Each structure stands twice: as C-alpha cells, then as structure tokens.
Amino acid sequence: MTELTQATLARDEGQLVSEAKAGNYSAFEELVNRYEKKIYRLGMNITGNREDAEDVLQDAFLKAFEHLPEFREDSRFYTWIVRIAVNEALMKLRKRRTSREVPMEDSEDENGEVVVREFADWKPNPEQQFARSELERILQGAVNSLSPGFRTVFYLRDVEGLSTEETAELLDLTEGAVKARLFRARLRLREELSKIFKRG
Amino acid sequence: MNCNKTIKELSGYLDGELDAGLKQALESHLTYCNHCHAVYDSTKKTIELYCDGKLFSLPEEVRTRLHEALKRKLQEHK
C-alpha cells in the first residue's frame, strides 16, 4: 500500500469514527464492513476454531460499539479493534485449555535451542494439492499445536503484517520476546506442515 | 556459518533484519546446504500459506449474525 493510500484510508477512518461517535450508525457499520473479514481471520488464526472465531468477531465489534465514546483516537480504529479482538481470542483460549495443545518445549533440546527434525523439501504448490477446506483444516491443526502466546505473535507479525514494535506494544512484550516467539512459532508450524507437505 | 547458526538466524533473515556480513554468510550457506535450504524454503512457504487471503474467509451466515447482533445492540441504546 502506498503512503498516500494509507493516509487516505486513515483519514477516511477518522471521519467514520467521528461520525459513528456522533451517533451515525451507518458510519460504524462501514467500519465493521471494512474490518470484519480480518477480525474473523484473526479469530480463526488465534483460536483455531470456527465457533470461537465467530464469538471473537461478534464480541469484539459489540464491545467496540459499546465503548466507542471512550475511544480516544490516539491510535487507528483498526489497531484498537485488533487489540480488543486479540484480548477476546486469548480469553477464549484461557477458558478452554485443550489437551490438543503440545507444549512448545517438545521442539527444543535440553539447552532450549529449537530442534529442526524435518529437512525434506516440500512438494511444489501444496495449496493446489488440497481442496480449500482441507487446506484450512491442515493449517488450523498446525496452528493449534502452538501455545496461545506464540500463535498470537505469529498471526500479528506474519499474517497481519504488524511490526515487531507494534506487536510488542499490543501484547505488552519486549521486542526481543516477540522476535524469539516468532522464530519458534515459524519453525514449529513449518515442522508440523512438513509432515503433510514433504516430498516422498 | 554452520547449520545451527543458520537456523537460528533464519527468522531475522526472512524479516530482512540481518547485517550485511551475516546475511552474506547465511546466503552462502544456503547455496550448498540442501537441508538448510529446504528449511528456509518451507518456512517461507509456511508464512505464505497463512497469508493467503482466500483462507479462513468470513462465511456469509456468520456475517449476517454479526450485523443482526449489532442492530439489536443499537436498538438497546435507543
């Protein structure tokens, strides 16, 4: 996205927020239309579950609607709604600690170093080898193998494209912790997906 | 650069955060080490798969329920 487009988008967003605060519901609805897909994807990536993703989506926008008068506009509306949605998603995960989750330590050696076990090349274009629903199931399964704190960092940095600094601020972590979690999350996901996508 | 160091620096390399010397050493290792190259390649592909906008798309019925819930909330506020 160019700087100009970003600036235009931010300005429009600011106007929509002002109008929504003044009681114009269609302005709020426009903000929802703009970000609902991304917030649903956030829910899917962090909770790894359709029902929870829908709850995250609804609860985040209902809270944003409820608390809009308190939104101080010192950050973008989008950053604010992402923050609300991340908190909702993490709360969901805390409520259902599942046995499916494998501790991250499984992928480390005794010195805490990440161990890579799978070195095989992948078949080309794995996204073309599977139906979309099957690929979603595979990707969800791999995400579910990450601890919540790791999958959240992975989502914000790699999917959402937030910077290390923004992610650190949003999750109240140091930048070093964000980098360390991202490194381990990426390798762990790769390891999980390699079991399915490797050649031979 | 050995394999352990390469894996350790891979994430920073993917983010373009390595200084010139380290970047060159890592790239040189990747040219002859098939194992590390496979890890690099598949890590990059992993990120691309999750970034695919077509995945985890918002189902229409979920969207409808969201907008209905918001309208109910709006009525409560009136």
Asked if A10 is an interface residue toward chain B (Cβ–Cβ < 8 A), one would say no
Task: Report if pTM > 0.90.
Answer: no
Do A9 and A23 contact (CB within 8 A), yes or no? no
Instruction: Give Cα separations from B41 to A117, A125, A142, B19 (angstroms).
Output: 15, 12, 18, 21
Please list, in sequence order, all residues whose beta carbon lies within 8 angstroms of the beta carbon of residue A82, skipping any fewer than 6 positions away: A38, A39, A42, A156, A160, A170
pLDDT in tens, A46-64: 888 889 999 999 999 999 9
- Residues A71, A128, single domain; the answer is no
SS (H, E, C) A81-116: HHHHHHHHHHHHHHHCCCCCCCCHHHHECCCCCECC
Is pLDDT at A114 greater than 80 in this prediction? no
- Residues A126, A153, single domain; the answer is yes
- Among A195, A102, A82, CA closest to A148: A102
- Predicted pLDDT of residue A119: 75
Asked if A62 is an interface residue toward chain B (Cβ–Cβ < 8 A), one would say yes
Q: Which two tokens stand for residue A77?
A: 């509306």
Q: Which CATH number do you get for residue A156?
A: 1.10.10.10
Average pLDDT score over residue span B37-43: 93
Q: Which CATH number do you get for residue A50?
A: 1.10.1740.10
Q: Residue A31 sits in which domain range?
A: 3-95
Shortest Cα distance, chain B CAs vs residue A177, angstroms: 13
- Residues A35, A111, single domain; the answer is no
- Predicted pLDDT of residue A185: 93
Our CA dihedral for A33, A37, A39, A41, rounded to 10 degrees, sits at: 180
Helix (H, G, I), strand (E, B) or coil at A122: strand
- Residues A122, A48, single domain; the answer is no
Q: Which residue has the higher pLDDT, A120 or A24?
A: A24
**pLDDT bracket for residue A113 (50, 70, 90):** low
- Predicted pLDDT of residue B57: 87
B-chain CB neighbours of A55 within 8 Å are: none
- Residues A86, A122, single domain; the answer is no
- Residues A115, A179, single domain; the answer is yes
- Residues A112, A192, single domain; the answer is yes
- Predicted pLDDT of residue A170: 87
- Residues A77, A114, single domain; the answer is no
Asked if A85 is an interface residue toward chain B (Cβ–Cβ < 8 A), one would say no
State the Rg of chain B over Cα: 22
Q: Which residue has the higher pLDDT, B7 or A119?
A: B7
Most A CBs within 10 Å, among B5, B15, B42, to test the A interface:
B42
**pLDDT bracket for residue B10 (50, 70, 90):** very high
- Residues A176, A134, single domain; the answer is yes
ipTM of predicted assembly, 2 dp: 0.86
Angle between helices A25-47 and A50-67 (to 10 degrees): 140
pLDDT in tens, B59-76: 999 999 999 999 998 888
Please list, in sequence order, all residues whose beta carbon lies within 8 angstroms of the beta carbon of residue B41, skipping any fewer than 6 positions away: A121, A122
- Structural domain count, chain A: 2
Which of A74, A95, A116 is a domain's end point? A95
Which of A95, A129, A149 is a domain's end point? A95
**pLDDT bracket for residue A7 (50, 70, 90):** low
Q: Which two tokens stand for residue A39?
A: 């917030």
- Predicted pLDDT of residue A102: 47
Shortest Cα distance, chain B CAs vs residue A5, angstroms: 20
Is pLDDT at A99 greater than 50 in this prediction? no
- Predicted pLDDT of residue A112: 61
DSSP calls for A172-187: T--HHHHHHHHHHHHH
Asked if A68 is an interface residue toward chain B (Cβ–Cβ < 8 A), one would say no
B-chain CB neighbours of A146 within 8 Å are: none
Which of A34, A65, A95 is a domain's end point? A95
**pLDDT bracket for residue A160 (50, 70, 90):** confident
- Predicted pLDDT of residue B9: 93
Q: What is the rounded CA–CA span in Å between residue A41 and residue A52?
A: 11
Is pLDDT at B78 greater than 80 in this prediction? no
Is pLDDT at A106 greater than 60 in this prediction? no
Shortest Cα distance, chain B CAs vs residue A192, angstroms: 10
Mean pLDDT across chain A, nearest whole number?
85
Is pLDDT at A110 greater than 70 in this prediction? no
Is B56 in contact with A154 (Cβ distance < 8 A)?
no
